[in-house]
């Protein structure tokens, strides 16, 4: 093992950011999770529902700001669940808002059990519950 390899066998990046993939995963994953809100807001604007469209676009901007502000590398001592709960809350507010805009579950042709697709989305919350960014840094050192 040469001097640039960590104990885990991972090579440190030349720029010193050995956790770049995790950062991209956090930001890109949540960006993908919230991306559907952007065209939904544009569609509502195009349909002439300006209030709903602006609120929906504002929700997208707020969600992405929250994702960046609550990034674990910005709060290395904070447990992941504290960082994930507000982001998940905004996600579910977005889902509820979308269902509301289209007249509720019945009007959208949904039943309450159709929302069970959301359960797998919660897996990171339970898998990463008490981890912290700094604890993972110690493993890489």
**23 vs 129, higher pLDDT:** 23
The string of pLDDT tens digits covering residues 92-132 is 999 999 999 988 888 878 888 877 887 888 888 888 788 89
Identify the CA nearest to 82 among candidates 32, 29, 138, 125: 125
At 15, the pLDDT band (50, 70, 90 cuts) reads low
The whole-number pLDDT of residue 138 equals: 62
pLDDT value for 7 = 45
Has residue 2 got a pLDDT over 60? no
Whether residue 8 has pLDDT greater than 70: no
- DSSP designation for 112: G
Structure-model confidence comparison of residues 59 and 106, the more confident one: 59
6 has a pLDDT exceeding 60: no
Closest CA to 83 of 27, 139, 36: 27
| Alpha-carbon gap, residue 88 to 75, rounded angstroms | 17
- The residue written with tokens 């010193």 in the block is 16
Q: Is the pLDDT of residue 81 over 80?
A: yes
pLDDT at 13: 52
Q: Are 41 and 57 in contact (CB under 8 A)?
A: yes
37-69 b/e with 16+ CB inside 10 Å = b?
bbebbeebbeeeeeebbeebbebbeebbebbee
Residue 129's pLDDT is 81
């Amino acid at each position: 093992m040469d001097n640039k390899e960590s104990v885990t066998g991972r090579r440190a990046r030349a720029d010193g950011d050995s956790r770049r993939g995790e950062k991209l995963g956090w930001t890109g994953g949540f960006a993908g999770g919230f991306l559907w809100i952007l065209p939904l807001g544009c569609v509502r604007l195009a349909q002439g529902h300006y209030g709903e469209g602006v609120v929906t676009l504002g929700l997208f901007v707020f969600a992405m700001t929250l994702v960046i502000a609550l990034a674990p590398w910005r709060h290395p001592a904070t447990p992941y669940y504290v960082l994930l709960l507000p982001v998940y809350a905004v996600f579910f507010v977005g889902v509820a808002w979308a269902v509301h805009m289209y007249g509720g579950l019945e009007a959208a042709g949904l039943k309450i059990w159709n929302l069970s697709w959301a359960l797998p989305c919660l897996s990171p919350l339970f898998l990463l519950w008490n981890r912290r960014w700094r604890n993972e840094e110690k493993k890489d050192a």
